[in-house]
Amino acid sequence: MRHRPFFERLAAVDPETPWEWETLSAGLVTLRLVDRRLDRPVAEPTAVEIAAVRSSVRRLPEGPTRRVLQAILDTIPKDQPVAEKLAAYGAVLEDEGEFYVASDVYSLAIEAARTEGALAILPHCLDRIGFVARQRGFVDDALRAYEIGRVISAEIGDINGALKIDVAAANAFLWKGEVGLARDVLEQTVKSARRKSLPEPLALALHDLATLSAREGDYDGALVLFGQALEIQTDPARLMRLLGDLGICAMHVGLYDTARDAFRFAFENSARFDTKWTSAINLMELHGLREEWEEFDRWVAIIEPSALPPALAASFHLHAAEAEQRRGHHERAGALLLIAGDIADRHDLAEIRDQARRTERGRSMRDAPAPARTTVPDNVAAVALQVRAITASR
């Protein structure tokens, strides 16, 4: 059945949120018009049908969803290319945390791109399909999408796109616990991007290499890599994710003010669902590490009712459990760990599963919180100043 994710989401909509039904159903009827246009043996949409769908879209509140659906509808009577508009709709759905239906839209964008001969957009769509699969906990599906995207990128000579997909694949390897393979891919990507003077994949690879270095305990080295990425990252959404990951590193070395500024700025300014809620989880963890329990409880109350995808839900329960252990609330910690482990088992999130088991056995995921740091090497201090300048200027 075409657009099954939309039908399943519509069936799950809470009756108390009719706006959610209207938004999803307007998207679905728009896509079904696109289906008719792409499937030439079937009669093309009539003016009356297009007008009816336009009416559904106009009932939506002004915002990104309404604008992108109107842009898609505008292509139909004029028989204009629609693949890029569909990809833009997929991005809007990602920003709203609708990862399941976003994958369906990106798949239709790929179908449209093939029909229209717009091959240049295929690697991007496959990259995003891989990302939303990862967010939903389907890491092997993500790797298959990346493999296809990498092949297409090579065939059409899109080196920039190929290197971006390599970075995304490295992240999938990390989620499967294949750390050595992830590092090899990222280091090779940094070399290739520098050699070919491609700043976009270079910033992405430096960012993720920094994150990996931090996970391996080289926090000062990671902060230097984060600083290099900050210097060349110009995309607002990626900058928010970069600040969030930099904040995690700063938190581990005792640069708590830098960490808090980075997390709060990303939470308050990110349009992307995953970045926003990752920052919220990081703020919760920071207050737990510092035993600031009133603020910790406030962030738990903000996050816990939210409908998070599997990877974020597992991360929330894991970090909340560790904080509750530190607090002495062992029964609550045990319940949270069971939830985190169950989510990780069901979605093959190897790293989170291993961390949950270590914490369950009474071993903290990390050593005692670092003391607040007052002296740092000059190159690390420069990164802290970069963060301060960014978060104070916007």
Q: What is the pLDDT of residues 286-338, one digit of tens each?
A: 999 999 999 999 999 999 998 888 889 999 999 999 999 999 999 999 999 99
Would residue 33 count as lying in a domain? yes
Rounded average pLDDT over 224-241? 93
**Burial class, 257, CB count within 10 angstroms (exposed 0-12 / middle 13-18 / buried 19+):** middle
The answer to whether residue 281 scores a pLDDT higher than 70 is yes
d(CA 140, CA 178): 13
- Tell me if 347 sits within 8 A of 311, measured CB to CB: yes
Would residue 72 count as lying in a domain? yes
Q: What is this structure's pTM?
A: 0.77
Encoded tokens for 312: 């974020």
Would residue 198 count as lying in a domain? no
Instruction: Report the percent of the chain where pLDDT is more than 70.
Output: 94
Rounded average pLDDT over 279-290? 96
Q: Where are the alpha helices (DSSP H) in 39-81?
A: 47-58, 64-78
Would residue 277 count as lying in a domain? no
The answer to whether residue 366 scores a pLDDT higher than 60 is no
Encoded tokens for 5: 């994710």
Would residue 42 count as lying in a domain? yes
Encoded tokens for 286: 């920071």
Rounded average pLDDT over 331-356? 86
Would residue 70 count as lying in a domain? yes
Would residue 299 count as lying in a domain? no
- Tell me if 356 sits within 8 A of 333, measured CB to CB: no
Its domain, for residue 44, covers: 1-117
Q: Virtual CA dihedral for 380, 382, 386, 388, nearest 10 degrees? A: 80
Encoded tokens for 154: 């090579």
Q: At CA 310, angle to CA 152 and CA 125, rounded to 5?
A: 20
Rounded average pLDDT over 358-373? 62
Question: Looking at per-residue confidence, does 282 or 357 come out higher?
Answer: 282
- Tell me if 34 sits within 8 A of 107, measured CB to CB: no
d(CA 380, CA 367): 21
| Least confident range of 77-86, 148-157, 329-338, 352-361 | 352-361
CB atoms within 10 A of CB 64: 15
Domain count, the chain: 1
Confidence of residue 31 (pLDDT cuts 50, 70, 90): very high
d(CA 192, CA 198): 8
Rounded average pLDDT over 250-272? 92
Q: Provide the mean pLDDT of the chain.
A: 90
Question: Looking at per-residue confidence, does 101 or 307 come out higher?
Answer: 101
Would residue 291 count as lying in a domain? no
Q: Where are the alpha helices (DSSP H) in the chain?
A: 4-12, 18-38, 47-58, 64-78, 83-95, 99-116, 122-135, 139-156, 159-175, 179-195, 199-215, 219-232, 236-252, 256-269, 273-289, 293-303, 310-327, 330-346, 350-360, 378-393
Rounded average pLDDT over 214-240? 92
Q: What one-letter code names the amino acid at 1?
A: M
Encoded tokens for 70: 């109107």
- Tell me if 3 sits within 8 A of 104, measured CB to CB: yes
